[in-house]
Structures are given as C-alpha cells and as structure tokens.
Amino acid sequence: MEQLNLIIDGQECLLALFDSSVTNLHQATWSQNVYLSFLLHVGLLREHHAHQLLALSGSDNLTQQVQEILNINQFNPDDVEGLKILFSRFGKL
C-alpha cells in the first residue's frame, strides 16, 4: 500500500490510502478541521525529526549532531497558520 498525507499549513489536510500500484484508492479524507490539521502537522514534523535522528546512527560527534537537529528543528508555533487560527478562535491554551 501507498499513502499520501498532505497537511497545508496546519489548516487543512488530505489523507489517502492507495494500493501498491497507486491506481486504486482504498480510502481518503479531506478536512478543513484546523485542530485535526494542526495535530497532524505537529505529528509529521516530529516524525521527520525522528528520521533525521535515526539517520545519525554510528556518526562521529553524535551528541553535537543530535543537538543541532533539535535546535534547528524547534517547533515554532508562530510559523504555523493553523495554530494562529486556533489561538484567535479559542485563546491560548
């Protein structure tokens, strides 16, 4: 199976599951739910960080490289439009 996970600025999302040839769509969901889209945005960001960290296995200066990834990839809520929308609707949580 193949999947497509598309999150647009933490505001809307498209999730789709295809067969391995990507010719048949098994299931798909599109949503403008800002809360759901923001949670998916954060989750995919953290998954990306995990892949970066796993790629460092056996590297020299491992501690320094891990720290650089964590510093460079800090989550900045001001950069995600979906979080700004949530704050404007419901206040800071």
Q: How far is residue 79's CA from residue 93's CA, in Å, rounded to a whole number?
A: 17
The pLDDT assigned to 93 comes to 63
Phi/psi for 51 (5° steps) reads -65, -40
Q: Strands 2-8 and 12-18, how do they pair?
A: antiparallel
Q: Provide the whole-model pTM.
A: 0.76
Residue partners of 14: CB distance under 8 A and separation at least 6? 4, 5, 6, 28, 29, 30
The total domain count for the chain is: 1
pLDDT digits (tens, 9 = 90+) for 77-88: 677 889 889 888
pLDDT digits (tens, 9 = 90+) for 43-72: 988 888 888 888 887 777 888 888 877 776
The pLDDT assigned to 45 comes to 85
Domain that holds residue 86: 2-90
Residue 73 pLDDT class (50, 70, 90 cuts): low
